């Protein structure tokens, strides 16, 4: 083979290899695409040739990024077979904390219209992940400084613990002094239930003898009308006995708990208290009524707190091993809350719960000189040391002021109060029956 032919073949192979390399490295594509412009306030590390994903699926590339006044314009090439709704959300995302950035598109409703070639879309300005991490670190640093600053937070926590210790001592004394009364009431309830059961059995036997004409009662009541009158009277007694039995059964299932929660808000340098009664009507449903954020209005404020003071709570809840859910009137406004205990079967971690609460959904007012427009959302972490004592770390009003709260809660059962509620319910039912 001649040298010229060898050189020609070598050059041809080199051109093919070079063209293939340019095709791969230059990200060329024979797929048909259309171009749209996406407007950002800032792109946060998004680069040319970054991927474009629609609901997590690659549908294009970033062709060019340029300035336009105080905005950043990204020219985006989208695969022609990708139909994107006009109300879709465009924002910058990352593959991981240290991963590359890409343009994420959350598909909207195609019935609202489809983006066409040459359209301009305005992206959602979300904080980059690294900025969010920086913000969290700054908040942690502020919390540490508050703890270290003159020991003020430590003193506040000490005050909470001391108040809680005094309260617990008083509660223990109250429970001890009323223990004999509770035991006496319980024994009387048990005796009454036994008597009701015995009376019902005897009445059934009497009616059976009257119907069969057996024994002295059957012989004495030979007249049909007299027999019917006696049977009706005994049936009325049985009905009354059954009603009493049902009432006693419902009353025995009632459980009431006094719930007192002492909270401290370090940023506001103030403490608040919640107090109320939780009434269980069965194993997993309860009603709660009480007062929240109780504070002495005569005290001088040492900081700015946006908590609604001296408000009422009235809501209904459902409890299960894994979940608790409640809704109703919370801190003077309609709302709901939930508690999640992910490791409830574990002896130690089963005492740890995640809490969330939401209310004031139509809030639009000025509180302490600051306007609030967003609903209130609270998130917390709760640990139950005993059946009586628990503690919680929470962040309140996370869309507005993001205040940290530290709280200690006691809940103790009051059987006398349960009996009182039962008697009130029974008298109400009896009145309704008489009417």
SS3 call for 128: coil
Which of 146-150, 218-222, 417-421 is predicted most confidently? Answer: 417-421
Confidence of residue 417 (pLDDT cuts 50, 70, 90): confident
Q: Which residue has the higher pLDDT, 266 or 226?
A: 266
Q: What is the mean pLDDT of residues 321-334?
A: 92
Q: What pLDDT is attached to residue 379?
A: 94
Question: Quick check: 391 pLDDT over 90?
Answer: yes
Which pLDDT belongs to residue 432?
A: 42
Query: Measured between alpha carbons, how far is 71 from 40 in angstroms, rounded to an integer?
Result: 6
Which residue would you say has higher pLDDT here, 180 or 320?
A: 320
| Residue scoring higher pLDDT (178 or 285) | 285
- In this predicted model, what pLDDT tens digit does every residue of 90-101 receive, in sequence order? 988 887 656 678
What is the pLDDT at residue 25?
Answer: 47
The fold for domain 255-419 equals Lipocalin (2.40.128)
Q: Residue 338 pLDDT more than 60?
A: yes
For residue 140 the two structure tokens come to: 């942690």
Long-range CB contacts for residues 232-240, cutoff 8 Å, separation at least 24: 234/203, 234/206, 234/207, 234/210, 235/207, 237/203, 238/200, 238/203, 238/204
In the chain, CATH 2.40.128 covers: 255-419
* One-character DSSP codes across 15-39: HHHHHHHHHHHTT---S-EEEEEEE
Q: In the chain, list all ranges with CATH 2.40.30.
A: 30-126
pLDDT at residue 329, rounded to an integer: 92
pLDDT at residue 154 is higher than 90: no
Q: What is the mean pLDDT of residues 250-269?
A: 83
Q: 30-126 maps to which CATH number?
A: 2.40.30
Strand order through the sheet with 33-40 = 89-94, 101-106, 51-54, 57-68, 71-79, 33-40, 120-122
pLDDT digit string (tens) for 42-72? Answer: 887 788 888 899 988 899 999 889 988 888 9
Residue 433 has pLDDT above 50, yes or no: no
Structure tokens at 23: 């095709």
- Across the range 158-167, mean pLDDT stands at 57
Q: Which of 35-39, 297-301, 364-368: highest mean pLDDT?
A: 35-39
> Residue 272 pLDDT more than 70?
yes
Tokens of 413: 């059962």
Tens digit of pLDDT for each residue in 117-151?
989 999 887 766 566 666 666 665 665 565 555 55
CB atoms within 10 A of CB 266: 20
Q: How confident is the model at residue 435 (pLDDT cuts 50, 70, 90)?
A: very low
Are 305 and 263 in contact by the 8 Å Cβ rule? The answer is no
């Amino acid at each position: 083979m001649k040298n010229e032919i060898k050189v020609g073949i070598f050059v041809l192979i080199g051109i093919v290899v070079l063209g293939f390399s340019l095709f791969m490295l230059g990200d060329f594509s024979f797929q048909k695409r259309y171009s749209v412009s996406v407007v950002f306030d800032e792109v946060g590390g998004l680069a040319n040739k970054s991927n474009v994903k629609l609901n997590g699926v690659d549908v294009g590339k970033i062709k060019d990024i340029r300035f336009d006044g105080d905005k950043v314009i990204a020219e985006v090439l989208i695969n022609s077979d990708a139909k994107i709704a006009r109300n879709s959300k465009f924002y910058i995302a990352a593959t991981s904390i240290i991963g590359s950035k890409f343009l994420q598109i959350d598909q909207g409703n195609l019935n609202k219209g489809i983006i066409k070639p040459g359209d301009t879309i305005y992206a959602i300005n979300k904080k980059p992940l690294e900025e969010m991490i920086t913000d969290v670190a700054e908040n942690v640093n502020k919390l540490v400084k508050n703890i270290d600053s003159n020991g003020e937070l430590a003193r506040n926590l000490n005050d909470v613990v001391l108040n809680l210790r005094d309260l617990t001592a008083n509660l223990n004394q109250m429970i001890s002094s009323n223990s004999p009364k509770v035991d006496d009431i319980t024994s009387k309830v048990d005796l009454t239930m036994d008597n009701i059961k015995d009376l019902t059995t005897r009445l059934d036997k009497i009616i059976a003898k009257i119907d069969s004409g057996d024994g002295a009662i059957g012989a004495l009541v030979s007249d049909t009308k007299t027999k019917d009158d006696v049977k009706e009277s005994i049936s009325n007694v049985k009905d009354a006995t059954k009603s009493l039995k049902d009432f006693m059964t419902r009353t025995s299932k009632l459980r009431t708990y006094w719930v007192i929660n002492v909270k401290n808000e370090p940023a506001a340098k103030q403490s608040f208290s919640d107090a109320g009664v939780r009434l269980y009507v069965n194993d997993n449903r309860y009603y709660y009524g009480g007062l929240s954020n109780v504070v002495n209005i005569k005290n001088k404020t040492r900081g700015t707190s946006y908590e609604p003071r001296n408000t009422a709570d009235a809501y209904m809840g459902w409890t299960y091993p894994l979940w608790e859910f409640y809704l109703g009137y919370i801190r003077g406004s309609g709302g709901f809350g939930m508690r999640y205990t992910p490791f409830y079967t574990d002896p130690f971690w089963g005492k740890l719960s995640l809490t969330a609460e939401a209310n004031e959904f139509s809030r639009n007012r000025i509180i302490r000189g600051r306007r609030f427009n967003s609903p209130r959302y609270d998130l917390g972490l709760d640990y139950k040391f005993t059946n009586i004592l628990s503690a919680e770390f929470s962040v309140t009003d996370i869309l507005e002021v993001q205040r940290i709260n530290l709280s200690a809660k006691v809940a103790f059962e009051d059987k006398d109060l349960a009996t009182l509620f039962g008697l009130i319910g029974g008298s109400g039912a009896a009145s309704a029956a008489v009417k």
